[in-house]
């Protein structure tokens, strides 16, 4: 057995080799016959437009940088007079001399008038009106006097209060508010309670049915013990206004939104009543396995039989 080509196969192979050679030569031949021409007028125009756009963009960035530097320069032009000061007692004019604008100074005074206090130099960083640049400038001059048991009201000089009274934001005067009847507007009058807390207290009271002790306010989201101690002297509560639910006729929808009960517990209360009859008193709730004594004690002021 031997390997060989027929005449027809040999001729086909020769043709294939020739075709491969032609294909390889064509690109070089094309470049020789059609050399690359210089940029046409249209291409030159497009290049000029591209350069113009890039130039305008660079100019715009440069202009923005100039504006930014100008803004910083304007701030730096404010007449700054540094002196030793207690941030809890100085006036708006004195804040301005330290580099703050009038609005920024009033914002700081409003914080103090509402009961806020700077207990250490770093507390100044919490004020968004005091930039890092200004803080670094004034921090070495801060001297915070200890109150030695004095109230915050006494640490605020009369001239600060007088300046603040003339501002667009008058200070809230301390009031006594009955929290089981007050709407959000009345709750907002409590010193230390803003619109957000007023709304949270109101909505929580609606779910609860009313407060039977002041400490329940600490169950409101965000209202911690510090805030509670600040406002507890300004509130009273009338337990006769508490809305009670008759546990022997209540349906699932009547109890499902109560903050002291989960859905499974509500369902267990109703199912136990259907199986064993009406509840006679609060002690009967101990028969519902899913309820513990702590929950029952908290529910007691809101249930009737």
CATH topology of domain 245-304: DNA polymerase; domain 1 (1.10.150)
> pLDDT at position 103, please?
85
> pLDDT at position 72, please?
46
> pLDDT at position 112, please?
82
The beta-carbon contacts of 97-101 under 8 Å, at least 24 apart in sequence, are 98/134, 98/137, 98/138, 99/75, 99/134, 99/137, 99/138, 100/129, 100/130, 100/134
Q: What tokens appear for 276 in the block?
A: 């064993």
Angle at the Cα of 185 from the Cα atoms of 200 and 242, rounded to 5 degrees: 60
CA quadruple 99, 100, 102, 106: dihedral, nearest 10: -140
Determine the Cα–Cα distance for residues 45 and 137; give it in Å rounded to an integer: 55
Q: What tokens appear for 263 in the block?
A: 């859905």
C-alpha distance from residue 110 to each of 96, 115, 205, 282 (Å): 15, 9, 29, 49
DSSP 213: S
Angle at the Cα of 279 from the Cα atoms of 273 and 280, rounded to 5 degrees: 160
> pLDDT at position 207, please?
92
Architecture of domain 177-241: Orthogonal Bundle (1.10)
Q: What tokens appear for 293 in the block?
A: 């004594």
Instruction: Classify residue 172 as exposed, middle or buried by CB count within 10 Å of its CB (0-12, 13-18, 19+).
Output: middle
Instruction: Please state, as a whole number, how many other Cβ atoms lie within 10 Å of the Cβ of residue 281.
Output: 9
Q: What tokens appear for 116 in the block?
A: 């806020």
> pLDDT at position 117, please?
83
> pLDDT at position 163, please?
46
Q: What tokens appear for 5 in the block?
A: 């080509």
Per-residue pLDDT of the chain (305 residues; tens, 9 = 90+): 455 667 788 788 888 888 888 888 888 877 777 665 555 566 666 666 666 655 555 545 555 555 555 444 444 456 678 888 898 888 888 888 888 888 888 888 888 887 788 888 888 887 878 888 888 888 888 888 875 444 444 344 444 444 444 444 455 456 899 999 999 999 999 998 899 999 999 999 999 999 999 999 999 999 899 999 999 999 999 999 999 999 999 999 999 899 999 999 999 999 999 999 999 999 999 999 899 999 999 999 999 98
Domain with CATH 1.10.150.280 in the chain: 177-241, 245-304
Determine the Cα–Cα distance for residues 279 and 268; give it in Å rounded to an integer: 13
């Amino acid at each position: 057995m031997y390997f060989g080509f027929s005449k027809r196969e040999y001729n086909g192979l020769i043709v294939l080799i020739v075709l491969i050679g032609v294909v390889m030569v064509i690109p070089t031949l094309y470049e020789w016959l059609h050399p690359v021409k210089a940029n046409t007028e249209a291409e030159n125009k497009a290049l000029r437009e591209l350069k113009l756009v890039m130039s305008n963009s660079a100019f715009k960035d440069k202009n923005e940088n100039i504006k930014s530097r100008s803004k910083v320069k304007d701030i730096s032009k404010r007449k700054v007079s540094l002196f030793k000061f207690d941030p809890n007692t100085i006036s708006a004019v004195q804040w301005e001399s330290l580099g703050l604008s009038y609005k920024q100074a009033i914002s700081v005074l409003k914080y103090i008038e509402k009961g806020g206090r700077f207990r250490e130099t770093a507390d100044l960083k919490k004020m968004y009106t005091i930039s890092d640049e200004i803080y670094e400038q004034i921090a070495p001059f801060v001297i915070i006097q200890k109150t030695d048991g004095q109230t915050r009201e006494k640490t605020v000089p009369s001239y600060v209060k007088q300046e603040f009274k003339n501002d667009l934001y008058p200070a809230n005067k301390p009031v006594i508010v009955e929290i089981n009847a007050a709407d959000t507007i009345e709750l907002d009058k409590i010193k230390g309670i803003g619109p957000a807390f007023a709304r949270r207290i109101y909505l929580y009271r609606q779910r609860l049915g009313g407060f039977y002790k002041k400490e329940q306010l600490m169950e409101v989201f965000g209202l911690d013990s510090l805030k509670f101690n600040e406002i507890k002297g300004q509130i009273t509560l009338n337990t006769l206004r508490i809305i009670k639910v008759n546990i022997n006729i209540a349906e699932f929808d009547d109890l499902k939104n109560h903050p002291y009960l989960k859905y499974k517990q509500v369902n267990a209360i109703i199912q136990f009543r259907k199986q064993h009859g009406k509840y006679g008193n609060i002690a009967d709730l101990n028969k519902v396995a899913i309820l513990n004594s702590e929950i029952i004690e908290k529910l007691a002021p809101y249930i009737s039989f």
